[in-house]
């Protein structure tokens, strides 16, 4: 079988990726991930999957896949998981949502290097506090390069990052990182992507992700992904690509007016 070898900076990072791969396999048994073929201290040989990266035309399908992944993971494993506490399943532990993220957000917001953030440091903290009481889904860095689309299916790859996260958080990563790669997305496409995602949690009686939450998570990703602008194919800053309703809804906190 053809292999794709991924090299990690150290054995700890390799072990983490391996554990994450195992967890995703348990949480989403019907979603395709590459098999692990061989493991060395700083390398994993994965099954090579012939496919292309995601793009704007795949947004609806990928949003639906994420909604399915998150709703399934919640039902199978995360029903009782507090978002702020590391979640352990057998030998695998997944980091909580806030750990590390709060510091990084605060540091980037204080640095003045993020163009036109729609969240203040205080607002970011408030959102983190609110998130702590929300149902748990996960973040696995849903950038468009972490999907391989084949003629038959969609495979999810890249097991480096995995944390608990509220519903909609990784969808916001997909939307922000796709727009940062190829430019502004039609507002209607974003709206339909959120609907297509929410169909899965709502089918199971879960609240899904509100417009305001989605707008907040997009701003989190704006802050956290800005340092990578100019690399990884990111050519557009989210502040030039985002729909105005996302910033409007964050500024008028008492109105659920969009879109």
Ligand X SMILES: Nc1ncnc2c1ncn2[C@@H]1O[C@H](COP(=O)(O)OP(=O)(O)OP(=O)(O)O)[C@@H](O)[C@H]1O
Binding site for ligand X (CB under 6 A): 4, 6, 34, 46-49, 53, 145-146, 148, 157-158, 160, 232
Q: Which is nearer to ligand X, 46 or 214 (CB)?
A: 46
**Minimum gap (Å) between residue 1 Cβ and ligand X:** 11
Report the partner that residue 192 touches, choosing among Mg ion, ligand X, none (CB closer than 5 to 8 A by kind): none
Q: Which is nearer to ligand X, 84 or 160 (CB)?
A: 160
Show the beta-strand stretches assigned E in 70-171: 87-89, 92-94, 136-139, 147-149, 154-156, 163-166
**Minimum gap (Å) between residue 117 Cβ and ligand X:** 23
**Minimum gap (Å) between residue 232 Cβ and ligand X:** 5
Binding site for Mg ion (CB under 5 A): 146, 158
Q: Which is nearer to ligand X, 145 or 202 (CB)?
A: 145
Query: What CA–CA distance (Å, rounded) separates 90 from 208?
Result: 27
Q: Which is nearer to Mg ion, 228 or 252 (CB)?
A: 228
Asked if residue 171 lies in contact with residue 193, where contact means CB atoms within 8 angstroms, the answer is yes
Q: Is the peptide bond before 259 cis (omega within 30 degrees of 0)?
A: yes
Q: ∠ CA(135), CA(246), CA(64), 5° rounding? A: 50
Kind and range of the H or E element at 248?
helix 244-251
């Amino acid at each position: 079988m053809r292999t794709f070898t991924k090299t990690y900076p150290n054995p700890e990072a390799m072990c983490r990726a391996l554990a994450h791969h195992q967890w995703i396999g348990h949480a989403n048994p019907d979603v395709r991930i590459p098999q692990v073929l061989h493991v060395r201290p700083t390398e994993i040989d994965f099954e090579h999957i012939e496919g292309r990266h995601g793009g704007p035309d795949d947004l609806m399908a990928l949003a639906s896949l994420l909604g399915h992944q998150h709703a399934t993971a919640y039902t199978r494993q995360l029903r009782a998981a507090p978002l702020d506490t590391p979640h352990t399943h057998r030998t695998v532990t997944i980091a909580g949502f806030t750990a590390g993220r709060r510091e990084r957000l605060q540091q980037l917001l204080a640095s003045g290097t993020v163009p036109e953030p729609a969240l203040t440091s205080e607002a970011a903290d408030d959102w983190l506090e609110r998130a702590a009481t929300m149902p748990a889904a996960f973040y696995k860095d849903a950038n468009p390069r972490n999907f391989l689309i084949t003629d038959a299916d969609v495979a999810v790859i890249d097991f480096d990052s995995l944390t608990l996260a509220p519903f909609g958080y990784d969808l916001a990563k997909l939307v922000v990182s796709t727009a940062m790669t190829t430019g502004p997305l039609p507002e209607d496409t974003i709206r339909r992507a959120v609907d297509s995602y929410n169909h899965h949690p709502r089918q199971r009686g879960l609240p899904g992700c509100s417009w305001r939450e989605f707008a907040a998570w997009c701003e989190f990703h704006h802050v956290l992904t800005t340092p990578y602008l100019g690399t990884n194919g990111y050519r557009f800053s989210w502040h030039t690509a985002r729909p105005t309703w996302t910033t409007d809804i964050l500024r008028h906190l008492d109105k659920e007016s969009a879109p």
